Structure 1
């Protein structure tokens, strides 16, 4: 019995020395963001000034740098809409945490042709998101249109998603004007909030709830987690300016980091997208969609917590690059995306 007891103590001591640390949920997010990327993909739309500009396009970086790009599918849309308004804007792509598939979500809106004003579109627009999924960036599911906003909403614009490891669900968020239930014609005064719902499969969603309500119009929210600072960083367009905030939790207290990001360099901007460098530790890239002229303007920082962003140089972007997502991909995924032909 004594020998067995001593042996047990020895095993316990050895196991305590070699115990393996459990990765934090935030570290898991950071791992997926960098994804040992060998290249970048870019999903975007081209704007209402072109007859097919409100469809979904892809590009692949020419190297492991986001400076220059090759368009996919000969520069033609890869995903086109046959449902709802038959227009697609603001595409966002996210990788499933298992790594087994990608989801693309987009605004269901068509402005080409001038059949409606922006005010009309924001009061009587689509309440649904356009959604696709793919296992490899080469083959894509059929489009589906899923209603996420309540009948009291005027639209569902600029959707994005963040995986929440604490709940094991995606937090999906978008901008909606909200009206009182009695205002069935949506004629009253209103402003856009950021709504959210949760999902595990982008097929069924929880009941939408307000996430960000500033008492004034807010849109184009995007979120990234920075492991170096331990903060989520959130970028939104509010009162015509890009606001950067930070919080240790998605539904925690958010503090202002900077307001008017990119204004000094580029004037009026919207549609922020943010991504972590595949190559340089701690370097973040922020692209802002210009209003006049339209098109993305890249910035970067080596310290996201500082709120100081410097204009990037040497960029050659695809034609007519508008609001979308840049995402890290492997060499195989880059080859798959480059080979798309539809």
Structure 2
């Protein structure tokens, strides 16, 4: 059945100190296996930011179940090839904008827009909100009856520096536009640098894993609450486990956690980001209410490309999984169609997963009757690159224009009539 749970989609960025990999990448589970991952679009980015710092880190993938719209959120920060201000500056008085892309099918994504969490719908600073040093690692939980009137909205939570340390703040929105965003308040402030909260709900409880960078030495720690309105200050949280994933660190740190549930069984995964460049390593739990829920995954089957960094995982249906496979086109079956009487509306392309599929084509015809067609409906057709004035790719280049660097193209010549 096409609407049965099947497969998982991971969004992430890559660590590449010598390149520009702070973009949006998508990996698809190998069938319904949550431990084996296949890079989509040939391992190339699917989306890139040409706004703000031109970086897209710590992405998160979510869906509004009432509208069926998917969203990717990301931090507006470019570390490698950016302004080189350094972590001290990047965490204080820096970008409070959230990168946002949306999609109806997980294949074709909208142009990038930004939402400033320090501003209200009128574009002015929110009255009563603290001065925010930056906006990092936004994640979401959808609440079906947030305001008690039957309508749902996302509770969004992110890291900002407030005063002399980093805290987790929250707000609400229905569609990640400035018009619907409302600042909420402080979700977690423990008096020391605290970043990267991720959450999951199960059986009426809310579980969150957060990274402490302060003197307490707790590292990644998990808390749980039974509060229905878990985002308000009155909610009571109980600490369950600390130093989660520390065995992976080996002299490094672990941060950027993301949690997700396996389909059809009481089995949860927690991927932790081993910094600076190792990337995600897996933890597993079969009982979130155990005394120490999380343990390293002991599996030789686990497969994920190196340097896969801080992202998120969304469970799919069979139809969504298969549609992503069918949109992962590799090359046109025939790249040069030769002379044709009429330009075809669609052409065949090979798929990375095997087989072929037909894709619509948009044609541009020159005065000499030569034509170049761009295949639409493929993952590679999204805006995953940009170029500034005089071809510059510097982060601060004026006149940046986004385009697709991986779109598939065919050529033809229109026969004279």
- TM-score w.r.t. the length of structure 2 is 0.68
Residue 245 of structure 1 aligns with which residue? 223
CA distance in 2, matches of 1:320, 1:265: 14
Residue 73 of structure 1 aligns with which residue? 41
Secondary structure of 1:322's aligned partner: strand
CA distance in 2, matches of 1:144, 1:292: 28
The 5 Å alignment of 1:150-189 reads 152-167=131-146, 168-179=152-163
CA distance in 2, matches of 1:78, 1:292: 23
1:109: how far off? 0.4
1:197 aligns with 2:171: yes
The 5 Å alignment of 1:14-33 reads none
Residue 199 of structure 2 aligns with which residue? 223
Residues 81-90 or 206-215, more deviating: 206-215
1:337: how far off? 2.6
CA distance in 1, matches of 2:105, 2:23: 20
Residue 116 of structure 2 aligns with which residue? 147
1:278 aligns with 2:266: no
Q: 2:97 aligns with which of 107, 114, 128?
A: 128
CA distance in 2, matches of 1:296, 1:319: 8
Secondary structure of 1:123's aligned partner: coil
Residue 273 of structure 2 aligns with which residue? 289
CA distance in 1, matches of 2:222, 2:295: 15
1:138 aligns with 2:129: no
Cα RMSD after superposing both structures: 1.7
Closer/same/farther in 2, CA of residues 208 and 121 from structure 1, 3 Å limit: farther
1:62: how far off? 1.2
- For structure 2, the 5+ residue unaligned runs are 120-124, 126-130, 147-151, 328-378, 382-417
CA distance in 1, matches of 2:48, 2:277: 25
CA distance in 2, matches of 1:261, 1:277: 20
CA distance in 2, matches of 1:84, 1:303: 42
CA distance in 1, matches of 2:26, 2:60: 11
Residue 283 of structure 2 aligns with which residue? 299
Residue 244 of structure 2 aligns with which residue? 261
1:293: how far off? 5.0
1:114-172, Cα deviation, whole Å (9 max, x unpaired): 61211110013211100011000011111101100267211000000111223122100
Greater helix share, structure number: 1
Q: Is the 8 A contact 1:91 1:104 kept in 2?
A: yes
Residue 20 of structure 1 aligns with which residue? none
1:215: how far off? 0.6
Residue 332 of structure 1 aligns with which residue? 319
Closer/same/farther in 2, CA of residues 140 and 91 from structure 1, 3 Å limit: same
Q: 2:182 aligns with which of 182, 185, 206?
A: 206
Give the paired residue count.
Answer: 295
CA distance in 2, matches of 1:261, 1:78: 31
Residue 111 of structure 1 aligns with which residue? 79
Residue 8 of structure 1 aligns with which residue? none
The higher-RCO structure (CA 8 Å, 6+ apart) is: 1
